[in-house]
Chains A and B, each alone.
Chain A
Amino acid sequence: MSENYRNNFLKEVEERVEEGHWVKMCMQCGVCAGSCPLGAHWAHPPQELFMMIRAGKREEVLTSDSMWMCTSCYNCVVRCPRKLPITHIMHGLANLAYRLGLSPKNQTTQKFASMFWNNLAQTGRVNELKLSLGMYFKDGFGQGIKNAMAMQSVGLGMVKAKRLNPMELFGGHGIKDKSGFHAMLKKAREIEDRRKNFA
């Protein structure tokens, strides 16, 4: 309790979260919370998250699934009278939580985000077939089969329309200079780690 309503966590957020320096500028009007189309599904709307950061509730903020609910509709950003880039801050907070290993396990958005990234980082291109199959099977083999059967007609239709190539399941195509791409990502990660003070 001794750390509450102090600058510590706010400072950490400013340092390690994309656009985190905006958090202190929130004036608690609640327009973001009222504007969010998914607002009812958030345990803590952005206004509350900002207050929690200022109140020093590090654990509660970073383990929350709230910021993972953001769908990037930008309604809040458009409406914020203080012009806070709320959407970016939500993604920044989610990212920090994930990097610290505090984000809620099995949160769907988070799962999808990491699958998407891993999929992309491998070949430099998103393999849509593997990505969607990965999502179908994320809750186990049985559920995966059920999901696949439910989407059967859509899938076959896409194959017929040549929007989906079943052969992509075996490897798939990537970009030309894959090792260069990997080196670039590695370097970017190093820079980010240094900047955001990750070991």
Chain B
Amino acid sequence: MADMKVAAYICQGCGLGERLDTAALASVAKKEGKAALIKEHEFLCNADGIKMIRDDIANEAVTHVMIGACSRRAKTEAFGFTDVCVSRANLREGVIWSQPETEEARETTQEMAEDYIRMGCAEVKKMTLPEGDPAAVTERTLLVVGGGVSGMTAALEASKAGYKVVLVEKSGALGGWAAKLHKRTPGKSPYKDPQNTPVAEMAAAIEADANIKVYLNASTSKTSGAPGRFEIEISTESGSTTIEKVGAIVQATGFELYDANKLPELGYGKSANVVDQAGLEALAKAANGSPIKRPSDGGEVKTVVFVQCAGQRDDSGKHLPYCSGSCCLTSVKQAMYFKEANPDIDTVVIYTDLRMPGNGEDFYRSGQEKGVIFTKGKVSGVEAAGNQCKVSFQDLILNDQVAIDNADLVVLATGQVPNSGVDIDTKLKAEIAAAAGDNSLMEAYTASQQEGAVQPISMLNLTYRQGPDVPQLKYGFTDSHFICFPYETRRTGIYSAGPVRRPMDMVQAMEDATGAAMKAIQAIENAGLGRAAHPRSGDLSFPKVRLEGCTQCKRCTVECPFGAIDEDEKRFPLFNQARCRRCGTCMGACPVRVISFENYSIDTVGSQLKAVDVPDEFSEKPRILILACENDAYPALDMAAMNRNVYSAFVRVIPVRCLGSVNTIWINDALSSGYDGVMMMGCKHGDDYQCHFVKGSELANIRMSKIGDTLKNMSLEEERVSTFEVAITDIERVPQLINDYAALIQKIGMSPMKGF
């Protein structure tokens, strides 16, 4: 560090030269920023400008570069120097494009630009160059847990891409649910008739593939390590264990059907003629093309009734609350089994809403053409009478309570329950709900922990501090962002695919498995280069911790959304670099501030906010600090500026990796340095979160909810620190939020903490 040499470059292009006094900016960089080398350039990002910087790095031994030009989100390639530390003062989007081009505004615009130069210089001086992990290794092998259609697809796709695969299946054969089907719903045009399942072909392809090693009757009894170097203990039923080393994991553990025994009102268990969809597949498989017989007496089947949403989409709280998205297709397919054998058999599908994903609409139409009767209704009960059943239902079109008296066979469409293992967050969620006044989750949790209660079996048996399985979002499905990053779980290098992630049919599961395999391959390669995986893909920085200052409070190990931090024997946090996503949630959590990244730390942000020139109480120029999430809020601010949506000149914006990385010391520092307000802009949190780090914005919100007391102790108004949910699309809303907040600060008055 002794050789640190800071160079500041100020661009005059894109109108910066006309709107700002760049000579004054240069003098700020010299006097206050203490830059050793200062240059102005009329067009910094062109070849000449870049060459100038390059030459300075080569000839002048420049180690730290401060670029006063456009947003750090622009010109990333031109200014992407990897051999020096770089900070960017956002003069274009952050200043001239977000301020009015008027004579009156000139003074405040210039002040804003000068502050960003001060901030840029202060930040860069606190940065060091990320060195990555020189010890990074990777195993170019993928573990696939589950040998169903999803698992087999993932294995075959990874093998095709040139990676070795270890496939672990708990049963004695590959195929999973699909192997139990007589036929599958069509996966290709014209989507009219049931097709044969792909199980036999896929199993044969796997057997013939030298890249794929299959363990049958086996489970993953221990999973330790991190992406690139997972160590898997595979136990077989015979008692033998093997260790496999893999780089990434695809969890395709599938689903179980909802237990139809919980539906006695629908006649299950009371008559052999009431079956679930799996039961009907078994009958069809046994019949193998010849007419399906009545289970109770082997009699001829003349009428079949399909009951949709049996124990699903239930709002009473007794059964599954969600739709499984595949059972309507299955019922149409099963009705076709009967129609194919004999078109005179009456097949009635009783549904409340038919949901036919993908090309299912064509399949539905085909079912109608074949004479399957669809009736919109809600089944109230199924009673067995001799060898027949009476199905009572409310016809929702004709608004009529009716019954089909002599059904020979009743098929219940029960839903999918994910095999996601142990819910490691149940207790945490129950505690949060209890704190909010809802004790039902806590009661359920306590009941589930009682002796004798059946405990779920772990799928992966992770040795992670936070628990043995990947965290779940809702209803037991693994936590992955539905739209933005569907396969990412909250365990780096572990990807979930198929119905364990959300309910789905075979077409979707195969697509899912392919996607997850590709993501797993990315994780393997990134781990080898010591780089972060999604969403800071390629990032080489990594949290360093000063263990001598650590108080073993465990907040980092508990709060890390990705379970990256374990504990060593002495109960100190043990960071696993390859598991880390570089969000900085641990840095935000640490009460003694011993966690930092090379290029992003308590100091890089702290020194920026302290570098800002805060005018005195009587200047009528308040200062508002904005800590903006770099994933959504910061781009929204940039785009607002591109649209010339003007906002208050009194704000100073500092991008943060995630609101979760915001340490309360920054808030304290800002308030005690005389800022009049702090706006924190992060992503939406909750069940439909948009946080790229899943829990970051939620944690930030919890932390900030407790800051009210601190403010009171400082005799400050609670409004001086506010948290906002901002989406990347809020380009009209963000300037409005800022202006409203500035007006609010105006109203409550200047902070009394100035000038100390």
Contact = CB atoms under 8 A, between A and B. Distances in A.
Interface of A: 1-2, 4-7, 10, 24-25, 27-28, 47-48, 51-52, 54-55, 57, 82
B405 to A, nearest CB: 6
A172 B9 CA distance: 104
B397 A48 contact: yes
A47 B397 contact: yes
Given A2-B405, A4-B402, A6-B303, 14 more contacts: A2-B406, A5-B373, A5-B375, A7-B344, A7-B373, A24-B369, A25-B369, A27-B364, A27-B368, A48-B397, A51-B397, A55-B400, A57-B398, A82-B365
A45 to B, nearest CB: 10
A52 B371 contact: no
Q: From DSSP, what is the main secondary structure of chain B's interface residues?
A: strand
A72 B372 CA distance: 29
Given A51-B395, A54-B375, A5 B369 contact: no
A162 to B, nearest CB: 53
Interface in B266-324: 303
Contacts of B714: none
Interface of B: 303, 344, 346, 348, 354, 364-365, 368-369, 371, 373-376, 395, 397-398, 400, 402-406
A24 B371 contact: yes
A87 B351 CA distance: 27
Q: From DSSP, what is the main secondary structure of chain A's interface residues?
A: loop
A106 B364 CA distance: 41
A32 to B, nearest CB: 13
Nearest to A11: B371
Contacts of A4: 402, 404
A172 B181 CA distance: 73
A25 B372 CA distance: 10
Contact of B346 (A7, A27, A52, A57): A7
B402 A55 contact: yes
A82 B364 CA distance: 12
Contact of A51 (B369, B375, B404, B406): B375
Nearest to B351: A28
A24 B405 contact: no
Nearest to A14: B371
The list of the 7 closest CB pairs from A to B, nearest first, reads A51-B397, A6-B346, A5-B348, A25-B368, A24-B368, A54-B373, A5-B404
5 contacts: A1-B403, A27-B364, A27-B374, A51-B397, A55-B400
A10 B372 CA distance: 11
Instruction: From A1, A2, A6, name the one whose CB has the most chain B CB atoms within 10 angstroms.
Output: A6
A25 B404 CA distance: 22
Nearest to A50: B397
B387 to A, nearest CB: 15
A25 B365 contact: yes
Nearest to B403: A1
Contacts of B374: 27-28, 54
B346 A51 contact: no
A52 B398 contact: yes
A2 B404 CA distance: 7
B376 A1 contact: no
Contacts of B346: 5-7
A1 B402 CA distance: 9
A55 to B, nearest CB: 6
A33 B375 CA distance: 17
Given A2-B405, A10-B373, A28-B376, A55 B395 contact: yes
Contacts of B348: 5
A83 B405 CA distance: 34
A3 to B, nearest CB: 10
A25 B370 CA distance: 10
Contacts of A82: 365
A48 B398 contact: yes
A125 to B, nearest CB: 43
Contacts of B400: 55
Contacts of B402: 4-5, 55
Nearest to B376: A28
Instruction: From A4, A5, A51, A55, name the one whose CB has the most chain B CB atoms within 10 angstroms.
Output: A5
A86 B175 CA distance: 46
A1 B375 contact: no
Contacts of B406: 2
Contacts of A2: 405-406
Instruction: From B365, B376, B397, B400, name the one whose CB has the most chain A CB atoms within 10 angstroms.
Output: B397
B663 to A, nearest CB: 55
B398 A55 contact: yes
Contacts of B344: 7
A27 B374 CA distance: 8
Contacts of B405: 1-2
A51 B371 contact: no
Contacts of B364: 27
Contacts of A1: 403, 405
B409 to A, nearest CB: 14
Contacts of B369: 24-25
Contacts of B373: 5-7, 10, 24, 54
